[in-house]
Amino acid sequence: MKRFKSGLIALCLMPMVLNADIGIDGMYINGTAGVGVASDKGDINYKTGFDLAGVIGNKSSNVRYEVELLWQRHEASTPEDGKTHTGVFSGMANVHYDFEDVDVFSMLPAVGIGLGFARVGSSGNNHDNVFSYQAMVSFHYPFTNDWSGFIGYRYFRTAKVKHLGDRNWQSNILNVGLTYHLG
């Protein structure tokens, strides 16, 4: 009987947990992992790569401000060298707008932009530090008042990179992440 009562209470509380407010103002941290496709650069043919990111941010009303560290890695092949890779490490300042009045399958949609700098490196110790920018779309789902998950898309691009033949580095990334709300 005790288990039945506990189960009944949990069942009654379930809608409150599933509808937890992810519109909580204050500080948060999140981590992201994703897969991306880099645009081929002339005779360099990129394979699907991956990315990892860490964020610390602050939410005020519908706007979120973030500082993000992002790392991407893509294997590639070239006619001269055969296999190679390109790694991109960037520091970004992002701003997101959360559409709190819109409910898409119990998820909160958001759009964002970011500016920063990236270190683009390839095999053979070729590195360039360049300006970078990104545009993002995401959907957030609350698990509890402290935790939420999200799925998103990111378009990332840099200024021209010398060791890539004065071409821009750009990638399209699909990612998933987990956010912990500190405040």
Domains of the chain plus CATH, in order, are 2-181 (2.40.160.20)
pTM of this prediction? 0.81
User: Any bridge partners for residue 139, and if so which?
Assistant: 109, 151
Distance of CA 40 to the CA centre of its chain: 22
Structure confidence at residue 164 as a pLDDT band (50, 70, 90):
confident
Residues 20, 145 contacting (CB under 8 angstroms): yes
pLDDT of 145-155, one tens digit each? 899 999 999 99
pLDDT of 1-46, one tens digit each? 454 444 444 434 333 333 344 567 899 999 999 999 888 666 677 7
Residues 121, 87 contacting (CB under 8 angstroms): yes
Q: Where would I find the beta strands (DSSP E) of 79-164?
A: 82-98, 108-122, 126-142, 147-161
Half-sphere exposure of 105 (CA within 13 A, CB side): 5
Residues 97, 113 contacting (CB under 8 angstroms): no
- Neighbour-count burial for 87-107, b at 16+ CB within 10 Å, e otherwise: ebbbebebebebeeeeeeeeb
